[in-house]
Amino acid sequence: MANLSVNICGVNFKNPVIAASGTFGFGKEFNEIYDIGVLGGISTKGLTLEPRLGNPTPRIAEGYGVILNAVGLQNPGVDVFLREDLDFLKSKNIAIIANVAGRTIDDYAGICAKLDGKVDMIELNISCPNVKCGGMAFGIKPESVAEVTRAAKGALQKTPLIVKLSPNVESIAANALAAQKGGADCVSLINTLTGMVVDIERRRPLIANNTGGVSGAGIKPIAVRMVWEVCQAVDIPVIGMGGITCAEDALEFIIAGARAVQVGTANFTDTLAMPKIIGGLNSWLDNHGIADISEICGVLRLNG
Amino acid sequence: MREQKVKILENGPIAAGIYKMRFALPEKTDGLFCGKFVNISVGDGAHLLRRPIAICERCEENDLQTVTICYQLKGAGTQAMSRAKVGDELACVLPLGNGFRLEEGQRRVALIGGGVGIFPMVSVLKEYAGTGKDFNSYIGFRNRDAVCMADVFSSLSARAEIVTDDGSFGKKNNAVAAFLAEYESVKPDVILACGPTPMLRALKAGLKERGIAVPCYVSLEERMGCGIGACLVCVCKKSGKEENARVCKDGPVFEINEVEI
Ligand SMILES: Cc1cc2nc3c(=O)[nH]c(=O)nc-3n(C[C@H](O)[C@H](O)[C@H](O)COP(=O)(O)OP(=O)(O)OC[C@H]3O[C@@H](n4cnc5c(N)ncnc54)[C@H](O)[C@@H]3O)c2cc1C
Ligand SMILES: Cc1cc2nc3c(=O)[nH]c(=O)nc-3n(C[C@H](O)[C@H](O)[C@H](O)COP(=O)(O)O)c2cc1C
Ligand code: FES
C-alpha cells in the first residue's frame, strides 16, 4: 500500500482524487452508491450568494468522447449550502472545497467572507463559460484575474484560496501567474472548453444555451498540456483536471506536475469511476515500487 | 440504486425500430418498481453518457433477477445498444427515480401511453396485475409497424383502446383524444400517462378544458448527465414556483399540475 495522501496549502487529502465541481452535487447522491468517505475531497457545485435557477433545458449534449454542458450555475445559494449540506460533507471526513461564482467582484468577496473558516478550501470559479455573468469575464485577462483574486483573498482570514482557470484564454500560464500575484494559494485547471453541437434537422444548436462547456475523455491531452505549462509558470500548488477516467490518466497529470486531480465527467460514465481511480493509483504505485505518490509529482522529463 | 454490470439474456427487435433487451442482475436489487428507470451504458467508449430507459418488466425466478427494457433506435447510442450480444455485459445503475404508485382507493385507473411512453405503462400493468385494479388503457402508435405489446394491454386491462396516427392499426386517433372521448363513461380515480411532450401538453390542456380534477401523474423525459440527482442537468420547472425539480431524482413521475410541461 503506497502512501497516497497529499498536503495542499496545509489541507490534508487522504488521496489526490477530488470530485470536480458540478458533477457531484454536494455528495449525497453518490453516497447512496458508495461511501464517498473514500475520496480525497469534493469540490461542490458552484455556489452563489443568492439561489440561481440556471439555464433552460436541454443542458447537455454529446460529442465523440466528450460531452457539452450548460447548466448555468443552478444552485440553492451559499446560505442553504451552509445550513443543509455542509454537515453531511463534514461527517464524511474528506477535504471540502467550496466552488464559488459571482457577478461582481463584491459578490466574490462576499461569498468568500461567508465561507471563511467553514470549509477546507475555496475554489474561485472565474471560468464558467455558461452564464453571462458567471465570472468568465474575470477569467479572461490576467489583470482581472489578479483583481478578483485579490478581492477574494482580502475577504479570507483562514481558508486557503484556489483559483480555477479557464482554458478559453490567450495564455493560461499568464493567467495562473496573475492569480499567484493576486494572492492565490493554489490554482486548478482546466474548466470546460467552449463548444457547440448543431441539430441539423432543426438547424439549431442542440443545447438551449447555444454553446456549452466541453469536458470528458477527449479533452485530456489539451488539459495535460495546460497543466504542464502552468506548473512551469507558478510556484503555488496546481490541481489538474480534464478528461480523467482512470488511474493512468490521473498519473499523466501528476507526472506533469499536478499535486492532486479532479474527476468530473467520468462520474457520469461510471458512477464508481473515482473509487476505481484511487484503487488503480494504489496498484500502479505498488507495481512500480513507489512508496509515496509525491515521488512522481512533477517528474516529467522533456524529450531531446 | 446500485451500479452493476448486467448480463444480456436477450436483445432483438419487436417492432419497426424498437428493440427489447432483457438482462440479469448480478446483485440482489430492491425497489425495481414500475415507472422507475435504469441508466445504462451503450457499451462503447465514444459515448460518455448513459441512456435513461424505463423499466418495462421485472422478474424473479429462483435466484435469477431480470429486468426488461424496450428502446427505440433513435441516435448513435441506442444503435450501439442494439448491437450488444447475448452474454455481453453493460454497466448500469438501477433502479432510478420515483415511479408510479397507486393508492388503495385508486381502483379505476386510466393509462395513457404514446410511442415509447407505452413501456412504463406495461410496467404498471404487470406490477398491479391481480391486485383488484381496473385498468382502461389508451395506447397510441405512429402506424401498424410500430405496434408492439398490444397483447399485454389487451390481456391485463379491463379495456384497451389501441390507436394509430394513420389508422393502419385500430382507429385513426391519438391516445389522449381516445381517453378524453371515454372519460365520462369510465370516470377513473387516477390517470397515469407517459409519452412525447406534445402528447402530455395535449393531456394537460384537455383536462383543464373539461375541468377534470382527477389526480393525473405523468412521466417526463429530459436529457441527463449523472442520472442520480447530482448534476442538475435534467431539470424541469415547478409550476408557480421559482424552483426546479430534477427529472431523474424527484421524478420522472410528477403530478401533471406540479410541473411545467
Ligand atoms: C426517464 C426516462 C425514461 C425513458 N424510457 C425510455 C424507454 O423505455 N424506451 C425508449 O425508447 N426511450 C426511453 N427514453 C428516451 C431515451 O432515453 C432516448 O431515446 C435515448 O436516450 C436516445 O439515445 P440515442 O443515443 O439513441 O439518441 P441521441 O440523440 O444520439 O442521444 C444523445 C443524447 O441525448 C439524450 N437523449 C436523446 N433523446 C432523449 C430523450 N427523449 N430523453 C432523454 N434523453 C434523450 C441521450 O440520452 C444522449 O445523452 C426515456 C427517457 C427518460 C428520461
Ligand atoms: C455538468 C457539469 C457541471 C459543471 N459545473 C461546474 C461548476 O459549477 N463550477 C466549476 O468550476 N466547474 C464546473 N464544471 C467543470 C468541471 O468541474 C471540470 O472543470 C470539467 O468538467 C473538466 O473535467 P472533466 O473532463 O473531468 O469533466 C462542470 C462540468 C460539468 C460536466
Ligand atoms: S441527470 Fe444529473 S441531476 Fe438529473
Q: Distance (Å) from the C-alpha of residue A290 to the closest C-alpha of chain B? A: 30
pLDDT 10s digits, B32-54: 999 999 999 999 889 999 999 99
Percent of chain A with pLDDT over 90: 94
Lowest mean pLDDT among A129-143, A191-205, B141-155: A129-143
What local confidence, expressed as pLDDT, does residue A127 receive?
Answer: 75
What local confidence, expressed as pLDDT, does residue B44 receive?
Answer: 87
Instruction: Please count the residue pairs, one from chain A and one from chain B, whose beta carbons lie less than 8 angstroms apart.
Output: 101
Buried b (16+ CB within 10 A) or exposed e, A262-286: bbbbbbbbbbbbbbebbebbbebbe
Does domain B108-221 fall under CATH 3.40.630.40? My reply is no
Per DSSP, the residues of chain A read --B--EEETTEEESSSEEEPTTSSTTSHHHHTTS-GGGSSEEEPSPB-SS-B--PPSP-EEEETTEEEE-----B--HHHIIIIIHHHHHHTTSEEEEEE--SSHHHHHHHHHHHTTTSSEEEEE--BTTSTTSBHHHHHSHHHHHHHHHHHHHT-SSS-EEEEPPSSSS-HHHHHHHHHHTT-SEEEE--PEEE--EETTTTEESSTTS-EEEESGGGHHHHHHHHHHHHHH-SS-EEEESS--SHHHHHHHHHTT-SEEEE-THHHH-TTHHHHHHHHHHHHHHHTT-SBGGGGTT------
Tell me how far the alpha carbon of residue B228 lies from the centroid of ligand 3, in angstroms: 6
Tell me how far the alpha carbon of residue B71 lies from the centroid of ligand 2, in angstroms: 30
Q: Residue B5's closest chain A neighbor by CA? A: A270
May I ask the CATH architecture of the domain B2-96? Beta Barrel (2.40)
Residues of chain B with CATH 3.40.50.80: 108-221
Q: Does residue A251 come out as left (phi exceeding 0), alpha (psi in the -120 to 50 range) or beta?
A: alpha
Distance (Å, rounded) from C-alpha A63 to C-alpha A215?
10
What local confidence, expressed as pLDDT, does residue B45 receive?
Answer: 85
Quick one: average pLDDT of B17-32?
Answer: 96
What local confidence, expressed as pLDDT, does residue A128 receive?
Answer: 62
Mean predicted lDDT score pLDDT of chain B: 96
pLDDT 10s digits, A59-86: 999 999 999 999 999 999 999 999 999 9
Residue A132 banded pLDDT, cuts 50, 70, 90: low
pLDDT 10s digits, A186-214: 999 999 999 999 999 999 999 999 999 99
User: Which among A60, A64, A272 is the nearest to B233, CB-wise?
Assistant: A60
User: Which among A53, A267, A268 is the nearest to B244, CB-wise?
Assistant: A53
Q: Report whether residue B236 contacts ligand 3, using a CB cutoff of 6 Å.
A: no
What is this structure's pTM?
A: 0.97
Distance (Å, rounded) from C-alpha A218 to C-alpha A207?
19
Quick one: average pLDDT of B56-83?
Answer: 96
pLDDT(B141) > 80? yes
Distance (Å, rounded) from C-alpha B171 to C-alpha A36?
54
Tell me how far the alpha carbon of residue B248 lies from the centroid of ligand 1, in angstroms: 12
Query: Cell 442520480 identifies what position?
Result: B228
What local confidence, expressed as pLDDT, does residue A17 receive?
Answer: 98
Class of domain A6-296: alpha beta
Quick one: average pLDDT of B139-149?
Answer: 96
What local confidence, expressed as pLDDT, does residue B62 receive?
Answer: 86
Locate the ligand 2 atom nearest the alpha carbon of residue A69 and give its number: 1
What local confidence, expressed as pLDDT, does residue B97 receive?
Answer: 98
ipTM of the complex in this document: 0.95
pLDDT 10s digits, B167-195: 999 999 999 999 999 999 999 999 999 99
pLDDT(A134) > 90? no
pLDDT(A135) > 80? no
Q: If contacts are CB pairs under 8 Å, which of residues 206-225 in chain B contact chain A?
A: 222-225
Interface residue B3 vs chain A (CB under 8 A) = yes
Ligand 2 first shell, C-beta below 6 A: A 20-23, 45-46, 69, 71, 73, 99, 125, 128, 164, 191-192, 215-216, 219, 241-244, 263-266; B 225, 231, 233
Residue B155 banded pLDDT, cuts 50, 70, 90: very high
Do A57 and B229 make contact, defined as CB atoms within 8 angstroms? Answer: no
What local confidence, expressed as pLDDT, does residue A3 receive?
Answer: 98
Q: Tell me the torsion sign for CA atoms A15, A21, A24, A28.
A: positive
Q: Distance (Å) from the C-alpha of residue A263 to the closest C-alpha of chain B? A: 13
User: Which among B50, B91, B229 is the nearest to A25, CB-wise?
Assistant: B229
Residues of chain B with CATH 2.40.30.10: 2-96
Q: If contacts are CB pairs under 8 Å, which of residues 7-26 in chain A contact chain B?
A: 22-25
Which sequence spans correspond to the domains of chain A?
6-296
Task: Dig out the grid coordinates for A69 from the structure.
Answer: 454542458
Interface residue A92 vs chain B (CB under 8 A) = no
What local confidence, expressed as pLDDT, does residue A129 receive?
Answer: 60
